Chain A
Amino acid sequence: MKKAFLALAAGFMVLAASTQSAFAGCGTCDKTIVENAVASKSFATLVAAVKAAGLVETLSGDGPFTVFAPTEEAFAKLPKGTVADLVKPENKDKLVAILTYHVVPGKVMSKDVVKLDGKKAKTVQGGQVGVKVKDGSVMINKAKVVKADIACKNGVIHVIDTVLLPKTK
């Protein structure tokens, strides 16, 4: 009985070691989308918005999710005062709609994103984003993907240079 337990324990240790090893050196793979966003200075506004929208728990869940994450520069392109307005409690629904418009269910790596050229992808918000590969760049609506394939424990982040705004109903 003791031998069987030891063998089982050793088996688990080998499995754990091999799983860990497969992700070694990745840097982001063992963290969730939220943890990786928090760790990067490029997403301070995005993280604040996710917190204000109450989406931290969702985006820390199993997923997997594909997040098109706007940079600080992307938020800076919005009209002055937009972000400050959006994070107000009374605008929470609007903020949730905008943020979930940046999330696509499933883990869609860039090699699969580019196959969607000319097509649309359905977002968690319910609307669709258009994918276009043009002049060597990958565009999501009018946003350019500036960094792709930041692999996370529960999905992947693609960094974009413009905030995506869903059509208002």
Chain B
Amino acid sequence: MMNFSLRSFSVVCWFAGCLAISSTSHAHSPVDFLEVIRVKPTQVILHGVETKSRYDSERQESSLEGPGYFSRGVGAMKREVKSPRAYMNWFAIKDAKPQPKREVEVLDMVRGAASKRLKIGNEVFLISPSQRLTSGAPDEVPEGLDIYKAYEVHGGAAVGLKLEIASSLGSGKATVGKPVYLCMPTQEWHHDETFPVTHLKDCFVVYEIEEQPVTSTFNTIDQFGINELKASSIRWICVRAAFLRDLGK
């Protein structure tokens, strides 16, 4: 009886969390889930840009290398692929300034309202929207997709939720493991272009899943030009989330 009550309560909490994300704080996100794929680019980009996220007191130089990962919109948890044109290229941030560990509250779609706290540390990736090049002019980047910095997550517990992933390049099945990164929107300056943050509270939590080998080659275009990417495995799943508050260092 007790077990049943606890389970019911957690289901209600999870449902309430999803409802909260869906109805209010995240109406602008063009994507619910992204699968993150390890890739090898034909041309490794080594480039410096300036960035500023909520955890940078001022604009700072970020030396980028990559892309080492690529993400694409997928469907999960009975949600269709919201925007199949949501693509992102992931660049490693080299020589990033060490960040203090911070505790934050984030409401995401898999952990729901029952578990909102994450402890984050250093920035690891800069994630930039990209476009798939096939034939004809590529689709525009969906509105609401910003540039993000991925901060490593410390000590998050595995979720254990089994997902059926629609439009996956892999088997379409995954078990959600530990949260590994929190992706926070970031302003960026690159040459004479400025990429603003359009939605300060939109973020993503990246979770481990079982690594699945895939074979695929495709071309993308991003702020650094055209690149051919060879995919080797699906590595993580990115889940949309709403940033609630900082709990301090």
Q: Known A114-B138, A136-B228; judge A25-B133 contact (CB<8 A).
A: no
From the candidates B135, B218, B224, name the one contacting A134 in the complex (CB within 8 A): B135
Interface with B: A3-11, A34-42, A74-82, A143-151, which one? A143-151
Given known contacts A25-B48, A114-B221, A133 and B191 CB-to-CB distance under 8 angstroms: no
Nearest CB in chain A to that of B220: its residue: A136
Other-chain contact of A115, B46, B48, B137 (Cβ < 8 Å): B137
Verify B135–A135 contact, CB threshold 8 A: yes
Q: How far is the CB of B60 from chain A (nearest CB, A)?
A: 9
- State whether B133 touches A114 (Cβ < 8 A): yes
Interface of B is mostly: strand
Which residues between 47 and 62 of chain B lie within 8 Å of chain A, taking CB atoms?
Answer: 47-50, 59, 61
CB atoms of B226 and A138 under 8 A apart: yes
- Count, chain A residues at interface, CB 8 A: 28
Would you give the 0/1 interface string for A26-64, flagging 1 where the beta carbon is closer than 8 Å to chain B? Answer: 110100000000000000000000000000000000000
Answer whether residue A168 sits at the interface, using C-beta atoms and an 8 A cutoff.
no
Q: How far is the CB of A102 from chain B (nearest CB, A)?
A: 18
Check A22 against B50 for contact (C-beta < 8 Å). yes
The answer to whether A26 and B191 touch across the interface, beta carbons within 8 angstroms, is yes
Residues of B in contact with A, size category: 20 to 34
B215 within 8 A of A: no
B117-138 Cβ-contact flags toward A at 8 Å (1 or 0) = 0000000000000010111111
Contact flags A91-132 to B (C-beta < 8 A → 1, else 0): 000000000000000000111001111100000000000000
Task: Tell me the complex Cα distance, A23–B61, Å.
Answer: 10
Residues from chain A with a CB closer than 8 A to the CB of B138 are 114, 133
* A137 and B191 form a contact (CB under 8 A): no
Question: Quick check: A24 and B218 within 8 Å, CB to CB?
Answer: no
Chain A residues packing against B (C-beta within 8 Å): 21-27, 29, 109-111, 114-118, 133-138, 145, 147-151
* 20 A-B contact pairs sorted by A residue (CB < 8 Å): A21-B50, A21-B59, A22-B189, A22-B192, A25-B63, A27-B47, A111-B131, A114-B221, A116-B137, A117-B136, A118-B136, A133-B133, A135-B135, A136-B218, A147-B226, A148-B225, A148-B226, A149-B224, A149-B225, A149-B226
